[in-house]
């Protein structure tokens, strides 16, 4: 077991080193492909002999990580000085000081530093199934007028290993090291193109994420000072004694990593990087640390004031990010805002912390990872093959890029409609919140979920509406031949999403529910029967799932194949001559309030720190 | 169970009848005779007989998918037993309508589709709240349980009042008929359909009548007579409103819904939750 976990973490690093030093197209491509089966097999082997396990590591690793920590922070300091960013420099200095304090306070403890439970295994699977295909995609993507292909792919694969490590640590000090390593990874990846904009955004991402690092260090200090421990398992074993202030700071770092408002700017800044970066940041890694962290501590914070404040904050972000997404015209930014929004929902349901809510959170994490990876990959295809970046350019995409539009269509359907996973997450959340209503609280939760999902549906329908606009009479759609690796990745995601949706009931009941039970310690009342899903007393029958799936497949795929043999006419026009250009609502009116909305989110954020952390 | 299946199968006919009655009622309110009650079915026969014309296949297909999705969501409402899920299934029909309407290069149709989305923003969150209100009274999301609980209107009067104004939004009647505004965008999403394809959209609308008024019926709880009375009252009220008012700006619709109707429903639910 220990060996397998070790291999799962180290193999990506070895592969990355191989790619980095070989600098050979063939080696890069084959290695990237081979990472898929390798990581998948390791994850599967860990899954089948899964017992929640604590793994002892040699003493030396602890020292190595401490040395690595200082090296990393020194690098941040160096970058701060080189890039002339006072924020980065001062935050790095603060981090170094705090780290020294933490190390001085730290007491020796024999608790193993690696903790692998079902949640960790889930993330191994996500990294293998969602993350690696993006690396494969990157091998082709970087061949389109981009430089540094080998280096880029190497960083991406190395990042996957870091993510695997980050989700398996037990020691919070180690977690800090890996948290900052993901910060480093995002810094390097965002600044990859090395032009001015990229550098600025990389620095932005760096200092914002450093704030998260500082918050973890403060949390560590509080934990060690008040409770005397610094391991996740210890937190979970002593739920009543744990200091709320420490938990508050820990969840603060989650909010920063999860790009919740007002810290959403760094994730948007990541849009200047090559598209696989966005794909990997948004789907499999990085931002998913945020819901992961909240899920880790959710049994401890359940029902506290902190949990309620987290619910209010993240729910607010869920709605507001969806509203602001309506005003965007850059396709990648639209996707980014919808990620921020859905991350809010994931953290909200993780913070609620009841078994069903945790199941909802996990379902959202899984399906969001697949769908977002898918959508960003398609955004990359649009950008490189069809040179489309903005909504206005997406007009008549159905004639220009039919296959890609079909994939985007499917990805969008996955983000909001019945019977796909993201919908099921929302549905479970509303059902769960209705149960709380009987004690007269959490109505805001229902409003959040209802409103947010309405806005997201509008967003997706609006974008799709522009893309399917089609000239009269042109009926022969030409399928433009796309590179094989692009098609492989797209079809990979497509088939997974389709299969998971079709068998969603057994998937949730047999795979997700045990994970949630492991986290909460209670059993969620969710069962599947003949492919139908029963959440408590509410059924989602298989005929409903199948029927909706068929209708949606007909809507998104059939237009390419159905040709009615009837006469065609021109659109009715009242006899007027109009320019053949129709725009779409850009929701300018929201922009006026954008600053107010963000200011309010800052207020909520401070509330989490002050009240949730128990500072008052 | 079997009654529900039969009922769902007959929904288009029933919806057509309601539509016919509505035209008569509306005409009488305006002091006209109005067409015969069976007029929608005569229209049906006439439209089916017409020479089929279309803009392109995608557009025509979406018209048919609108009908299919609308009917399917009605089946889910009647057979699925979970009202909350039925609310979300209704979005499938909206999707088909919006995709179809925005797939043609006609300004009226595209504008109609975009306004249809504004409709969705206005009524979707309310519907979720309303169903949660049902849950609070009856203790279950299942239709069968709701139909056996005490009449919901006693406990959800404010939600009921708000729903009276949501109905015009869902059925596209004045003052909220912004999507199909006959005078300015001449039918909106459905303008480009003709012949049998228009027939599909037209019948889809009848089914939507059943869908919406069934929610009204649920307010009656186990008192079915009360439910029927509520439906008839809502029917007359909505038609009176339709006749008496002019169309509002879509911004006003969204504002009215978000500033007045949704808080009203939320207030009712909060008070109810505290009362228990």
Give the per-residue pLDDT at A579.
62
User: Testing the interface with A: which of B8, B54, B56, B94 to mutate, by most A Cβ within 10 A?
Assistant: B56
- Check residue A565 and give its pLDDT: 74
Q: Is B254 on the interface with A (CB under 8 A)?
A: no
Measured from the Cβ of residue A419, the count of other Cβ atoms closer than 10 Å reads 25
Task: Spell out the SS3 assignment of chain B.
Answer: CHHHHHHHHHHHHHHHHHHHHHHHHHHHHCCCCCCCCCHHHHHHHHHHHCCCEECCHHHHHHHHHHHHHHHHHHHHHHHCCEHHHHHHHHHHHHHHHHHHHHCCCCHHHHHHHHHHHHHHHHHHHHHHHHHHHHHHHHCCCEHHHHCCCCCHHHCCHHHHHHHHHHHHHHHCCCCCCCCCCCCCCCCHHHCCCCHHHHHHHHHHHHHHHHHHHHHHHHCCCCCHHHHHHHHHHHHHHHHHHHHHCCCCCHHHHHHHHHHHHHHHHHHHHHHHHHHC
Q: Is A552 on the interface with B (CB under 8 A)?
A: yes
* B130 at A interface, C-beta within 8 A: no
Q: Average pLDDT for residues A429-434, to the nearest whole number?
A: 86
Decide: A531 and A506 in contact? Cβ < 8 Å: yes
Asked if A476 is an interface residue toward chain B (Cβ–Cβ < 8 A), one would say: no
By Cβ distance, the residue of B56, B89, B136 closest to A568 is B56
B61-80 residues touching A, CB cutoff 8 A: 61-62, 65, 68-69, 72, 75-76, 79-80
Element (H, E) at A568: strand A567-568
User: Percent of chain A having pLDDT more than 90?
Assistant: 3
**Dihedral sign, CA of A120, A122, A125, A131?**
negative
Helix (H, G, I), strand (E, B) or coil at A445: helix
Contact B102 A437 (CB under 8 A): no
User: How far apart, in whole angstroms, are the C-alpha atoms of residue A333 and residue A356?
Assistant: 32
Residues A440, B273: C-beta atoms closer than 8 Å: yes
Give the separation between CA A15 and CA A506, rounded to whole angstroms: 35
Strand, helix or coil for residue A444: helix
Beta carbons of B85 and A450 less than 8 angstroms apart: no
Are A469 and B102 within 8 A, CB to CB? yes
With beta carbons less than 8 A apart as the criterion, state whether A366 and A126 touch: yes
**Which chain A positions have a beta carbon within 8 Å of B266's beta carbon?**
443, 447
A365 and A288 inside one domain: no
Number of domains in chain A: 2
Alpha-carbon span B78 to B142, nearest angstrom: 10
Residue A112 has a pLDDT of 85
The DSSP call for residue A223 is I
Instruction: Convert the pLDDT of each residue in A53-76 to its tens digit.
Output: 778 888 888 888 889 988 988 898
**Which residues 34-53 in chain B show a CB within 8 A of chain A?**
51-53
Query: A608 pLDDT band (50/70/90 cuts)?
Result: confident
Q: Which of B117, B128, B136 sits opposite A461 (nearest CB)?
A: B117
Task: Write out the residue range of the structural domain in which residue A510 sits.
Answer: 304-616
What confidence category does residue A362 fall into, taking pLDDT thresholds of 50, 70 and 90?
very high
pLDDT (average), residues A578-595: 76
Residue A546 and residue A421 share a domain: yes
**A413, A447: one domain:** yes
Whether residues A280 and A381 share a domain: the answer is: no
Question: Do residue A519 and residue A543 come from a single domain?
Answer: yes
Residue B16 near residue B41 (C-beta atoms within 8 A): yes
Average pLDDT score over residue span A579-588: 73
User: For A520-546, what is each residue's pLDDT tens digit?
Assistant: 888 888 888 888 888 888 888 888 888
Taking the Cβ of residue B193 and every Cβ of chain A, the question of whether any pair is shorter than 8 Å is answered with no
User: Pick from B65, B113, B141: which is nearest to A555 by CB?
Assistant: B65
The minimal CB distance from A571 to the residues B61, B192, B251 is found for B192
For residue A535, give the 3-state DSSP assignment. Answer: strand
pLDDT number for residue B232 = 92
Residues 530-549 of A with CB under 8 A from B: 537-541, 544, 547-548
Chain A interface, best mutation among B1, B4, B58, by max A CB count within 10 A: B58
Residue entry with tokens 């191994």: A124
Looking at residue A224, its pLDDT comes to 87
Residue A249 has pLDDT above 60, yes or no: yes
Structure confidence at residue A495 (pLDDT): 92
**Is B54 close to A431, i.e. CB distance below 8 A?**
no
- pLDDT higher than threshold 60 for residue A266: yes
A470 touches chain B (CB under 8 A): yes
Cα first-last separation, chain B: 33
Pick the residue from chain A with its C-alpha nearest to B111. A584
Among A266, A301, A336, which residue terminates a domain?
A301
pLDDT of the residue at A22? 83
**What is the number of alpha carbons within 13 Å of residue B84 lying toward its C-beta?**
31
Domain boundary among A269, A286, A301: A301
Inspect the interface and report whether the beta carbons of A472 and B140 lie closer than 8 Å. no
Q: What is the pLDDT of residues B81-104, one digit of tens each?
A: 788 888 888 888 888 888 888 888
How many domains are contained in chain B? 1
Which of A395, A418, A585 to probe by mutation at the B interface, max B CB count within 10 Å? A418
> Residue A586 — φ and ψ, nearest 5°?
-110, 5
The CA–CA distances, whole Å, from B207 to A82, B181, B222 equal 67, 20, 24
Interface check for B108 against chain A (CB to CB < 8 A): the answer is: yes
Average pLDDT over residues A347-375: 90
For residue A80, say if its preceding peptide bond is cis, omega within 30 degrees of 0: no
Phi-psi sector, B125: left (phi>0), alpha (psi -120 to 50), beta: alpha
Residue A255's nearest CA partner among A346, A191, A168 is A346
Q: Which of A458, A544, A569 sits opposite B117 (nearest CB)?
A: A458
- Inter-chain residue contact A472 with B55, CB threshold 8 Å: yes
B93-117 burial code (b ≥16 CB/10 A, e <16): bbbbbbbbbbbbbbbbbbbbbbbbb
Which of B65, B108, B276 is the closest to A551 by Cβ? B65
In this structure, are A379 and A271 located in the same domain?
A: no
Instruction: Tell the residue number behind the tokens 């006003």, with chain if given.
Output: B252
> Which residue among B76, B95, B274 sits closest to A417, beta carbon to beta carbon?
B95
Give the count of Cβ contacts less than 8 A between chain A and B: 210
A536: nearest CA in chain B? B140
What's the mean per-residue pLDDT of chain B?
86
Say yes or no to pLDDT of B186 above 80: no
The closest alpha carbon to B272, from A445, A429, A449, A437, belongs to A437
Which pLDDT score is estimated for A238? 81
CA distance B13 to chain A (A): 22
Cβ-based neighbour number of residue A476 at 10 Å = 6
Residues A283, A312, single domain; the answer is no
Label residue A476 by pLDDT band (50, 70, 90).
low
Q: Contact A223/A259 with Cβ under 8 angstroms?
A: no
Of A466, A541, A563, the CB nearest to B57: A563
Q: Is A529 on the interface with B (CB under 8 A)?
A: no
A582 and B105 in contact by Cβ < 8 A? yes
Give the pLDDT confidence score for residue A446 in this predicted structure.
Answer: 87
Least confident of A80-84, B177-181, B248-252: B177-181
Residues A451 and A468 in one domain: yes
Q: What digits encode the pLDDT tens for the residues A156-207?
A: 888 888 888 888 888 888 889 988 898 888 888 888 888 888 888 888 888 8
pLDDT of A139 > 80? The answer is: yes
**Residues of B whose CB is below 8 A from A449:** 128
Which chain B residues are closer than 8 Å to A505 by Cβ? none
pTM over 0.90: yes
- CB of A439 within 8 Å of a chain B CB? The answer is yes
Per-residue confidence (pLDDT) for residue A612, from 0 to 100: 66
CB contact under 8 A, B194 and A569: yes
Report the mean per-residue pLDDT for chain A: 84
B59-83 residue pLDDT tens = 888 888 899 999 988 888 888 778 8
The domain boundary residue, chosen from A301, A331, A350? A301
In sequence order, which ranges of A83-131 are alpha helices (DSSP H)?
86-105, 118-126
Yes or no, beta carbons of A566 and B80 under 8 Å apart: no
On the question of pLDDT at A583 being above 80, the answer is: no
How far is the CA of A371 from the CAs of A135, A330, A364, in angstroms? Answer: 16, 18, 10
Please give the ipTM for the structure prediction: 0.91
How far is CA A340 from each of CA A197, A425, A454, A547, A593, rounded to the nearest angstrom?
22, 16, 16, 31, 18
Partner-chain residue, chosen from B65, B262, B273, that has the shortest CB–CB distance to A438: B273
Q: What is the pLDDT of residue A302?
A: 82
**Closest to A566 (Cβ–Cβ): which among B54, B68, B91?**
B54
Min Cα distance B123 → chain A (Å) is 9
Would you call B229 an interface residue with chain A, using a CB distance cutoff of 8 Å?
Answer: no
Same domain, yes or no, for A108 and A232?
A: yes
Number of residues that make up chain B:
276
- Which of A461, A470, A537 is the closest to B140 by Cβ? A537
Instruction: Provide φ and ψ at A526, rounded to 5°.
Output: -130, 125
A295 and A243 together in one domain: yes
pLDDT in tens, A491-519: 999 999 999 988 988 898 888 888 888 88
**Pair (A212, A326) in one structural domain:** no
Q: What integer is the mean pLDDT of B254-276?
A: 86
Q: Which residues of B touch A423 (CB under 8 A)?
A: 88
Average pLDDT rounded to a whole number, residues B158-182:
85
pLDDT digits (tens, 9 = 90+) for A543-560: 888 888 888 888 887 777
CA distance A149 to A203: 22
The answer to whether B4 faces chain A, any CB pair under 8 Å, is: no
Question: Is residue A43 domain-shared with residue A175, that is, in the same domain?
Answer: yes
Cross-chain residue pair A418–B274, CB shorter than 8 Å:
no
In A102-151, beta strands by DSSP E? 114-116
Q: What is the pLDDT of residue A474?
A: 52
**What is the span of the domain harbouring residue B54?**
2-275
A477 touching B, CB under 8 A? no
CA A36 to each of CA A30, A43, A483: distance values in angstroms, whole numbers, following the listed order: 10, 11, 19
Q: Is the pLDDT confidence value at B149 over 80? A: yes
Q: Which residue of A has its CA nearest to B184?
A: A574
Residue A263 has pLDDT above 60, yes or no: yes
B178 touches chain A (CB under 8 A): no
Chain A residues touching residue B59 (CB < 8 angstroms): 470
């Amino acid at each position: 077991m220990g060996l397998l976990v070790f291999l799962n973490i180290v193999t990506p690093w070895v592969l990355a080193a191989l790619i980095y030093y070989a600098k050979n197209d063939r080696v890069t491509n084959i290695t990237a492909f081979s990472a898929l089966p390798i990581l998948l097999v390791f994850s599967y082997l860990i899954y089948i002999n899964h017992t929640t396990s604590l793994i002892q590591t040699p003493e030396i690793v602890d020292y190595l990580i401490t040395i690595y920590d200082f090296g990393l922070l020194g690098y941040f300091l160096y970058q701060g000085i080189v890039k002339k960013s006072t924020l980065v420099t001062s935050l790095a200095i603060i981090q170094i000081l705090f780290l020294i304090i933490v190390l001085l306070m730290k007491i020796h403890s024999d608790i193993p530093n690696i903790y692998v439970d079902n949640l960790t295994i889930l993330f191994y699977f996500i990294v293998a199934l969602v993350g690696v295909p993006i690396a494969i995609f990157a091998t082709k993507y970087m061949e389109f007028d981009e430089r540094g292909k080998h280096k880029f792919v190497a960083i991406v694969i190395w990042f996957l290993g870091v993510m695997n490590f980050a989700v398996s640590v037990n020691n919070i000090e180690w977690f800090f090291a890996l948290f900052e390593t993901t910060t480093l990874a995002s810094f390097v990846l965002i600044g990859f193109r090395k032009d001015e904009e990229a550098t600025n955004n990389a620095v932005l991402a760096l200092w914002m994420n450093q704030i998260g690092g500082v918050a973890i260090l403060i949390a560590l200090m509080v934990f060690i000072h008040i409770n005397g421990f610094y391991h996740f398992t210890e937190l979970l074993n002593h739920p009543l004694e744990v200091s709320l202030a420490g938990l508050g700071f820990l969840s603060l770092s989650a909010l920063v990593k999860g790009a919740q408002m007002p810290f959403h700017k760094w994730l948007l800044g990541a849009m200047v990087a090559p598209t696989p970066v966005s794909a990997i940041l948004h789907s499999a890694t990085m931002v998913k640390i945020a819901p992961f962290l909240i899920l880790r501590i959710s049994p401890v914070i359940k029902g506290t004031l902190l949990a309620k404040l987290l619910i209010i904050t993240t729910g607010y972000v869920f709605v507001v990010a969806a509203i602001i997404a309506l005003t965007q015209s850059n396709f990648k930014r639209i996707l980014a805002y919808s990620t921020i929004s859905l991350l809010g929902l994931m953290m909200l349901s993780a913070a609620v912390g009841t078994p069903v809510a945790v199941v909802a959170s996990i379902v959202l994490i899984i399906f969001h990872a697949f769908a977002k990876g898918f959508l960003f990959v398609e955004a990359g295809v649009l950008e490189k093959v069809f040179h489309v970046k903005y909504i206005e350019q997406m007009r008549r995409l159905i004639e220009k890029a039919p296959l890609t539009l079909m994939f985007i269509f499917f990805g969008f359907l996955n983000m909001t409609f019945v019977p796909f996973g993201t919908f099921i997450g929302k549905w479970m959340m509303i059902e769960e919140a209705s149960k709380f209503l009987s004690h007269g609280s959490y109505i805001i939760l229902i409003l959040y979920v209802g409103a947010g999902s309405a806005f997201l549906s509008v967003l997706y329908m609006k974008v799709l509406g522009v893309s399917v606009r089609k000239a009269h009479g042109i009926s022969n759609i030409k399928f433009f031949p796309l590179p094989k690796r692009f098609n492989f990745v797209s079809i990979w995601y497509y088939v997974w999403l389709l299969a998971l949706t079709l068998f969603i009931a057994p998937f949730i009941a047999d795979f997700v529910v045990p994970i949630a039970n492991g986290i909460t310690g209670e059993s969620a009342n969710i069962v599947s029967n003949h492919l139908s899903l029963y959440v408590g007393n509410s059924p989602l029958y298989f005929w409903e799932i199948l029927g909706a799936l068929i209708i949606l497949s007909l809507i998104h795929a059939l237009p390419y194949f159905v040709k009615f043999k009837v006469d065609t006419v021109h659109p009715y026009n009242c006899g007027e001559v109009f320019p053949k250009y129709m725009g779409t609502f850009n929701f300018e009116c929201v922009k006026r309030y954008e600053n107010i909305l963000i200011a309010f989110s800052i207020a909520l954020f401070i509330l989490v720190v002050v009240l949730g952390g128990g500072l008052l | 169970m079997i009654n529900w299946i039969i009922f769902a199968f007959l929904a288009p006919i029933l919806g057509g009848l309601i539509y016919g009655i509505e035209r008569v009622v509306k005409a009488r309110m305006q002091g006209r005779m109005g067409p015969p009650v069976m007029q929608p079915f005569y229209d049906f026969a006439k439209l089916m007989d017409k020479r089929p014309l279309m803009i392109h296949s995608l557009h025509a297909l979406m018209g048919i998918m609108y009908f299919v999705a609308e009917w399917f969501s009605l089946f889910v409402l009647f057979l699925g037993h979970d009202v909350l899920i039925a609310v979300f299934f209704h979005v499938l029909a909206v999707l088909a309508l919006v995709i179809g309407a925005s797939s043609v290069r006609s300004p009226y149709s595209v504008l109609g589709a975009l306004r249809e989305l504004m409709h969705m923003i206005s009524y979707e969150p309310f519907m979720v709240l309303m169903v949660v209100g049902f849950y609070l009274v009856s203790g279950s999301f299942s239709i069968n349980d709701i139909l056996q609980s005490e009449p919901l209107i006693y406990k959800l009067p404010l939600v009921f009042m708000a729903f009276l104004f949501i109905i015009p939004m869902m059925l596209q009647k004045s003052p909220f008929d912004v999507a199909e505004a006959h005078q300015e965008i001449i039918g909106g999403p459905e303008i480009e359909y003709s012949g049998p394809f228009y027939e599909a959209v037209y019948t889809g609308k009848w089914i939507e009548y059943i869908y919406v008024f069934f929610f009204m019926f649920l307010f009656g709880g186990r008192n079915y007579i009360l439910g029927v009375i509520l439906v008839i009252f809502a029917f007359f009220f909505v038609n009176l409103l339709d006749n008496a008012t002019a169309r509002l700006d879509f911004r006003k619709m969204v504002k009215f819904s978000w500033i007045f109707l949704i808080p009203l429903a939320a207030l009712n639910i909060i008070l109810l939750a505290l009362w228990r």
